Structure 1
Amino acid sequence: MGEEEPRKNGSERTNKYAVACSIIGSIISILMGYDTGVMSGAMLFIKEDLKTNDTQVQVLAGILNVCALVGSLTAGRVSDWIGRRRTISLAACIFLAGSILMGLSPNFATLLTGRCVAGVGVGYALMIAPVYAAEIASAEIRGSLTSLPEICISFGILIGYVANYFLAKLPLVYGWRTMLGLGALPSAVLAVGVLAMPESPRWLVMQGRPEEALLVLRKVCNTAAEADVRLADIENAAGYANGNAPAPGSGGRGVFKEMFLHPTPTVRRILVAAFGIHFFQHLSGIEAVVLYSPRIFKAAGIATRNEILAATIGVGVTKTVFIMTAILLVDRVGRRPLYLSSLAGIVASLSCLGLGLTVIERSAPHHAARWAVALAITTVFTFVASFSIGVGPITWAYSSEVYPLRLRAQGASVGVAINRIMNAGISMTFVTLYKAITIGGAFFLFAGLAVVAAVFFYFCCPETQGRPLEEIEEVFSQGWSSRRRQHPPSSSVELPEPDSKARP
């Protein structure tokens, strides 16, 4: 007992260096959030300045995610080749180029080109930020740190909304260009600053550089003994123990074949869970609310442009506050309870939002019942809060931690690609959808899809809370029902004892 207590206390102490590295690596996600938030307001001015129609507005909103698909599909292989740290720097450089193009665009074609370039950078950022955080963090705080990219996205959205509100006062020709071009400043700083971070120890092991990996682990672990144990487990997961270690510089060759041509039952279950959670995230309608919140508030009866932009700032604040709450809860409550509770709130909020908007739409202009207006506006905020406390951050945390080491980068790459396809599909069709089935009907549809998402997650996604990355594959080696009944192990890290085999 005397030896066990110090070990437990040491393992539960949060390593500040690991937290700092994860925060810096996640800052790249602010750029993606800023672009989404600022575009929601900028579109009002772009439409007026460049005389765009609704189809062009939808293409402009969604093209970033289409191009993010290209970035995300290549990011996994690139990060296996050049490393996680350099991939973050590359993402910042690509986004920098896109922001400059958008800020200087004289016409719609140039603006669209800039959005495409920025989209490739977004694809890289969305894939690499949670993977880097997962590979740096310990099991006890991994849920919180891998959720950091989502809070950075939300913070970026909030900054974008604030920029819309204040820059709207500039002359029309400069206002929206300044809004979009501002993203270049943090991109330039991040592209250089991220090179001061350490490389992922798991990537170093995969490259046949365990000595360098040990140096990093001794910085991100609380004790040297803990670092030694974790290195041994990483080497075992990479195949060193049985002589199947990847060749240095292999760059992750053969991973797609293992995932899609000859997957084992365990890998197949992992792919269903990881890809499925990305598939359902945007079917909840979050992109429709965030990107088109000005239109929703206008439909709910908020009239002036300044009032609409001020209301969108409220959406950004709500999103950020509740994601911060999720970060505090995810490693205490667990992934499954938080995610399923979040979906329950989403279904209730979307149903009430659909009801309120339907009543408003069927009322005479400016004569809608006050309760319907209040219900519609209130449930926009409750929906964003419900999404942000579970579905938003846990999608990224869960999907970055379930893959085996050899598949993680390229598996996450495909997952992000699916996420971007769904995002683009919603953002590019929402206006057409609500014109076809009414805006209230659109949110009733999203509520029904959220119910399907809850059923999927309940049956296909086991709990991963408190498990080291190298042990999560074991959770998926059993059948669906038996895995749902499992309870996560104690979150403490056991360090080696003289007479027992050590596990991190």
Structure 2
Amino acid sequence: MSAPPSPEEKRYLLAEGDRDEDELVKEPESPGIELEEITLAEPGLDLDGMSRSELVADAVAFCERAGLMEHVKDFRHGALLAYGDTTNLTMAERRALQREKTHKWDQPFMVYYIAICAAMAAVVQGMDEAVVNGAQIFYYDYFGISNPNNDQTIAMIQGLINSAPYLCCFLLSCWLTEPLNHRLGRRGTIFFACVVTGLFSLLEASTQTWQQLFVVRLILGIGIGPKSATAPVFAAECAPSRIRGALVMQWQMWTAFGIALGDLVSYLFVNSNPATAWRYILGSTCIAPAIVCCMIFLAPESPRWCMLHNRPRDAYKAMLRLRRVPLQAARDIYIMERQLAAEREMQRGGWKRMVRDLFMVGRVRRAAIPSGILMFLQQFCGVNVIAYYSSQIFVEGGFSRQAAMLTTLGTGVVNWLFAIPAIYTIDTFGRRSLLLFTFPFMSVCLLITGFGFTLPEGTGRLGVVASGLYLFMVFYSPGEGPVPFTYSAEAFPLYIRDFGMSYATAVCWAFNFVLAITFPPMLASFKPLGAFSWYAGWCLAGWVLVFLFVPETKARSLEELDVVFSVPTGQHASWQVRNAMQKLGLRQSQRPLKPLYDLDDGA
């Protein structure tokens, strides 16, 4: 704990309009609360040796610049709190800070409301991805592009239609994220994206040729890209660091729910008129975007976005709705101001500067590398083969349409249910540990699925295939499902976060497009066993890539992440190899390795 303030320093705290000295110094302690036990949600800042008096003067100067002088007393004490000084707190503030440590889920309703908004945007995403799985069984026949003879040209047309939104995402719409966020904010960008997806979902259902469907689905991607990049960032910027992972991963969990919901809609229409069933399936995705549009403007704008755009009064007003007491809000706003002060010079230069920094600035590059790896692996682990094509695979494998739809629905439900444990595990076991544990099992499950297709009909083929897919989802859902978007949303510095998330989601959708357009020809050439074995191999490769190149980020504040990503990539990989060899007894020297990061926990 910091030393008590000197009489001279105390005069800064007890200036005109501040708290009464008796309240600050002589207030009795609350039973069961020891001030020394308080651990702040954000660690003390590195303030270049500033004294308490200089720190308070800096907080006052910030209030003057920001037009927040009526809240100056909270910012004085918030600045000291950011520094690590926990003296001179009221009883309500002490209780709030203690509960910040001991009851991490005790947060204002608005924190969870923003997570719900992001979750509903994810439902939109999941349905947009999943409904094509069931609809294609009908519209291939309607448009005359079914492929009983495994014609490669027809297979490419099928893949092009299904992959059209993701082509738009990585070529255009993901890169619209930064300018849209700059002009519209987080809330406005999500609103815009949901309007686009809702409108073009209806247009999908009214197309008359496969060319029209391709064009409409291509434009649908304008709504998918910015939404997928913005909603996780919105949740990450509003969540306290101790539960940030759990709230941000709601994106993937509720994307899984949206996929299951899309599969359910497909199953409900499986016995309908084939000429119209696919229209109802595709058109059903207009409902969820309308709900998000109604919800989003009841939430405050991201305080970090407001601070980035020189709107500190709006940032503080929003933060008051996201923290229990004004002192916590003032502390977090002051921390943002200090971080931005170091980054503002980097904000100049526009797109050229950001593109250069993404690859040339070590701190940013080391966030971009693991973010790109995880987004790539989310596609090439094979999950969207199941999400986009499982119904068609099952039908071509001899299953009835109803059995194919029911099995596909089961994968969606399992995907969602087993994402629920990740709410707790992602901030306890950590991002990296979950991935290292689940990737080998995912590989085995895909091999089981592929070999299941080689069994003759009537020998349990459906059971083996379904079991392989369901077990794959059991391991995918708490690992490679939620981690990539959570990781990318928190890894980049604030000044380049929008552009960094644009890059990460562009990588995701680029390989999503590659997967979607290549799988029909791959299936025609290599059959299910070869296709699923290909992605099983990538799951094993993914384990190696995560082990070497993906640092852990769980429960780290934004400032601690600067330390984590300051370690060169080669040094991180080398340390992980040597540490593993030591644990396995393969190194001659058994002296403990020097910690990889210079942090209090010795990580």
Same fold (TM over 0.5): yes
Does the aligned pair in 2 maintain the 1:201–1:217 contact within 8 Å?
A: yes
Amino acid in structure 1 at the alignment position of 2:221: G
The aligned counterpart of 2:444 is: 348
Pick from 539, 552, 557 the counterpart of residue 463 of structure 1. 552
The aligned counterpart of 2:565 is: 476
Deviations 1:8-44 (A, max 9, x none): 3234243132111121133112122112221101000
The aligned counterpart of 1:419 is: 508
TM-superposed deviation, 1:246: 5.3
Amino acid in structure 2 at the alignment position of 1:32: Q
Does the aligned pair in 2 maintain the 1:300–1:373 contact within 8 Å?
A: no
Return the alpha-carbon distance in structure 2 between the equivalents of residues 39 and 112 of structure 1: 12
Amino acid in structure 1 at the alignment position of 2:143: L
Amino acid in structure 2 at the alignment position of 1:479: P
The aligned counterpart of 1:395 is: 484
Percent of matched pairs sharing the same residue: 25
Counterpart of 1:222 in 2: which secondary structure? coil
Return the alpha-carbon distance in structure 1 between the equivalents of residues 288 and 468 of structure 2: 33
Pick from 62, 77, 81 the counterpart of residue 183 of structure 2. 81
The aligned counterpart of 2:169 is: 68
TM-superposed deviation, 1:376: 2.4
Deviations 1:242-269 (A, max 9, x none): 874858xx98783223224xx2222221
The aligned counterpart of 2:119 is: 26
The aligned counterpart of 1:36 is: 129
Deviations 1:320-353 (A, max 9, x none): 0011121222112211111211212211212222
TM-superposed deviation, 1:105: 1.4
Return the alpha-carbon distance in structure 2 between the equivalents of residues 488 and 30 of structure 1: 40
Does the aligned pair in 1 maintain the 2:385–2:516 contact within 8 Å?
A: yes
2:126 pairs with 1:126: no
Return the alpha-carbon distance in structure 2 between the equivalents of residues 122 and 8 of structure 1: 41
Does the aligned pair in 2 maintain the 1:168–1:176 contact within 8 Å?
A: no
The aligned counterpart of 1:294 is: 391
Higher relative contact order (CA 8 A, sep 6+): 1
TM-superposed deviation, 1:113: 2.0
TM-superposed deviation, 1:470: 3.5
The aligned counterpart of 2:497 is: 408
Return the alpha-carbon distance in structure 2 between the equivalents of residues 245 and 200 of structure 1: 21
Return the alpha-carbon distance in structure 2 between the equivalents of residues 196 and 220 of structure 1: 13
Return the alpha-carbon distance in structure 1 between the equivalents of residues 599 and 275 of structure 2: 58
Return the alpha-carbon distance in structure 2 between the equivalents of residues 86 and 462 of structure 1: 33
The equivalences for 1:317-332 within 5 A come to 317-332=413-428
Pick from 21, 34, 51 the counterpart of residue 144 of structure 2. 51
Return the alpha-carbon distance in structure 1 between the equivalents of residues 365 and 390 of structure 2: 38
The aligned counterpart of 2:371 is: 274
Does the aligned pair in 1 maintain the 2:357–2:365 contact within 8 Å?
A: no
The aligned counterpart of 1:8 is: 98
RMSD: 2.3
2:192 pairs with 1:90: yes
Return the alpha-carbon distance in structure 1 between the equivalents of residues 271 and 416 of structure 2: 25
The equivalences for 1:490-501 within 5 A come to none
Return the alpha-carbon distance in structure 1 between the equivalents of residues 514 and 487 of structure 2: 23
The aligned counterpart of 2:353 is: 254
The aligned counterpart of 1:437 is: 526
Q: Could you say if the C-alpha distance between residues 488 and 284 of structure 1 is closer, same or farther in structure 2, counting changes exceeding 3 Å?
A: farther
Return the alpha-carbon distance in structure 2 between the equivalents of residues 423 and 344 of structure 1: 21
Return the alpha-carbon distance in structure 2 between the equivalents of residues 182 and 384 of structure 1: 25
Return the alpha-carbon distance in structure 1 between the equivalents of residues 106 and 255 of structure 2: 24
Which deviates further from its counterpart, 6-15 or 341-350?
Answer: 6-15
The aligned counterpart of 1:498 is: none
Counterpart of 2:321 in 1: which secondary structure? helix
Does the aligned pair in 2 maintain the 1:466–1:488 contact within 8 Å?
A: no
Return the alpha-carbon distance in structure 2 between the equivalents of residues 161 and 125 of structure 1: 21
Does the aligned pair in 2 maintain the 1:38–1:179 contact within 8 Å?
A: yes
Return the alpha-carbon distance in structure 1 between the equivalents of residues 543 and 505 of structure 2: 20
Larger radius of gyration: 2
Aligned residues: 478
Deviations 1:131-158 (A, max 9, x none): 1111111111111111111112111111
Deviations 1:407-463 (A, max 9, x none): 111110111011001011111111211222231111111111111111111111111
Return the alpha-carbon distance in structure 1 between the equivalents of residues 389 and 553 of structure 2: 34
Q: Could you say if the C-alpha distance between residues 177 and 319 of structure 1 is closer, same or farther in structure 2, counting changes exceeding 3 Å?
A: same
2:354 pairs with 1:264: no
TM-superposed deviation, 1:312: 1.2
Which deviates further from its counterpart, 410-419 or 250-259?
Answer: 250-259
Output the TM-score relative to the length of structure 1: 0.89
